[in-house]
Homo-oligomer: A and B are copies of this chain.
Amino acid sequence: MPRESTTLSDESLWLDVTPASSRRMLSAAVEAFAERGYHATTTREIANKAGMSPAAVYTHYRSKADLLFAISEAGHQAVLRDVEHALADVDTPGGRLHRMVSAMVSWNASNHTLARIVSYELSGLEHEQFEQIRTLRDRLEAIVHTELKHGAQTGHFDIADEDTTAMAIMSLAVDVARWYRPGDLAPEALGAKYAGLALRMVSLRVG
């Protein structure tokens, strides 16, 4: 069984990256890592997919780990951006939790190929790169905790255990990338359903 070889649905993640050849390399790396995993992929294969020579890849990325780092960083920043945007104009704790979970779930469904690499291939990073990505993950986790705390303090949420609830919410979103396939429920619809489950976890109900 080959892994799913869907190309990235949305390459807007590296619109800022120049030149265009670097963007081509990132997309080729995502495709290659998704097909056989990070460790089984060679820089030569990435170069081939991007229609370049291995030497051309090395002009922009020192190593395969650097490509993985660029992909992981772009992915983490994209989720953070979506979540912050989703929270920008909602006030009630319940509304904010709903928006936050919807955004996280919907991102992992829309970008499932990239999200799998971002969540499951972190072991390929060098130590310092890993620490930088961890900082981004910690920021996302901190947002989840802030929302839970705020809802509890204002008496809107009744939470059994903040750490476990935060972990469960992150887990629900991350795991979507493992099972999601094009043709499943649309990302936004899935996001709304999972947001409803998250509200139940804090003792609120919608529908």
Contacts and interface: CB of A to CB of B under 8 A. Distances in A.
Given A168-B172, A175-B175, A201-B200, A120 B120 contact: yes
B168 A194 contact: yes
B207 A179 contact: no
A200 B203 CA distance: 7
Contacts of A168: 172, 194, 197
A155 to B, nearest CB: 17
A38 interface: yes
Interface residues of A, number: 41
A3 B200 contact: no
A135 to B, nearest CB: 15
Interface in A106-165: 119-120, 122-127, 130, 160-161, 164-165
Interface of A: 1-4, 36-40, 119-120, 122-127, 130, 160-161, 164-165, 167-168, 171-172, 174-176, 178-179, 190, 193-194, 196-197, 200-201, 203, 205, 207
